[in-house]
Amino acid sequence: MAQSRKDSRGYALRTGECQRSDGRYSYSYVDKDRKRQVVYAPDLITLRKKEQQIRRDLEDGLDPRRAERVTVNQVYDSYMKGKYDLKATTKVNYIYTYDHYIRETFGRRKLIDVKYSDVKKFYYTLLTEKELSPATVDNVHTQLHPAFQMAVRDGYIRTNPCSGVLGEIKKSHVWVTEKRMALTVPEQKAFMNYLFTNHKYQGWKPLITVLIGTGLRIGECLGLRWEDLDFEKRTIDVNHNLVHRRVDEEGGTLHINTPKTKAGCRTVPMIQQVYDAFLEEYQLQQLTGFCTQEVEGYSGFVFASSNGTVTLPVEVNRAIHSLIDDYNKEEKVNARKEGRNALILPRISAHHLRHTFCTRLCETETNVKVIQTIMGHKDIQTTLDIYADCTEEKKKEVIHNIEDKIFIL
């Protein structure tokens, strides 16, 4: 039997172990690529802890030495190169988010060094020090989590350090999401009445009526073509949306996006006011001219500016803000004259008109699946959340209306 090797203190050395002349210990092994590697330690106990980790990594198919050389940025870039199913516009938005919030800070870290606590600290920094919104941090997480998951599957790391982080932070006091805002019934009536009676905004009446009367997303509405409308059946075929991507302060580029999910493609019925709005727009364009602009093969857009180009989302929101500002100024003066409280409208955007429509729908319809289909919500939880908000307000209204009829004493 061969005599076992021992170190200077008489401890038996295992296969691959060696004590150097300077007193340090080394361990030699063959990695997953069949290359010999050596690790060092000041003492035998520390060395064997390293050996244990190495054996575990090899058994699990991991390559920690390679992971030590790779940064988070490199992993993310590799992940994005493999996302062949992403739409071009979605990919651009993802990369913009990563470059803007991650690349120059967290992205420079070595992959092997990133722990759960590091990700948690990074997210908290974005929320508290950078004062980013929860929605933006959620978007950041959407970039990081799958990239780290790919690193797990590729054998770089054992676990995903992003897993569970956002769930924990969402339970903390710093995660305060902005509640979806919809106009109340009195606010909606005041808003629409001002739109219909003020000559300054007559040109915006058809478009805003369609937005608040269909619940379409702004891109879906502005992307509508006359061929998407069936006046006989009174339906709207929603099958794409118009995207305006800002390039610089001077302007941007227009693109057509098709829905990511089946829920995005849908048929929305026209109520009478929406039907009338489309007819009014058509008759107006017969006099002023139809939209002549073409975007990625799409043409014949319903809503056009005076020079024949498509209407942009920023133009719509600017008009809504202007309308609300003008209304509020007049309302304050009128309320003072009439000795009543002024009905001040909140500062909303086109998306709030969509939410207002959904709220009215939830107040009158109990079939949540029907609401989801009309709204084009991918996740029914979105519909349920809005429905829950509406029913909560409805409960208060019902109790208030019957309080005189309930006798406690």
State the Cα–Cα distance between residues 188 and 357, nearest whole angstrom: 10
β-bridge mates for residue 243, sequence order: 255
3-state DSSP assignment of residue 268:
strand
Note whether residue 401 is domain-resident: no
Enter the DSSP assignment of 343: -
Q: Are 274 and 209 in contact (CB under 8 A)?
A: yes
Q: Do 104 and 238 share a structural domain?
A: no
Domain enclosing residue 157, as ranges: 72-168
pTM of the model: 0.68
Q: Which of 13, 41, 61 is the last residue of a domain?
A: 61
Number of domains in the chain: 3
pLDDT, tens digit, 9 for 90 and up, residues 63-79: 666 767 889 999 999 99
pLDDT, tens digit, 9 for 90 and up, residues 118-166: 999 999 999 999 888 898 999 999 999 999 999 998 888 889 999 999 9
Q: Do 370 and 245 share a structural domain?
A: yes
Q: Do 113 and 10 share a structural domain?
A: no
- pLDDT tens-digit profile, the chain (409 residues): 455 688 888 888 988 889 998 989 998 888 777 888 888 999 988 988 888 887 877 776 666 667 678 899 999 999 998 888 887 777 888 888 999 999 999 999 999 899 999 999 999 999 999 888 898 999 999 999 999 999 998 888 889 999 999 999 998 888 876 667 889 999 999 999 999 999 999 999 999 999 999 999 999 999 999 999 999 999 999 999 998 876 666 667 888 888 766 767 899 999 999 999 999 999 988 888 899 899 999 999 999 887 889 999 999 999 999 999 999 999 999 999 999 999 999 999 999 999 999 988 888 887 888 888 888 888 788 778 777 777 666 666 655 665 565 555 5
State the Cα–Cα distance between residues 18 and 7, nearest whole angstrom: 8
β-bridge mates for residue 254, sequence order: 244
Q: Do 125 and 46 share a structural domain?
A: no
State the Cα–Cα distance between residues 209 and 278, nearest whole angstrom: 9
Q: Do 84 and 53 share a structural domain?
A: no
CA-nearest of 126, 128, 132 to 173 is 128
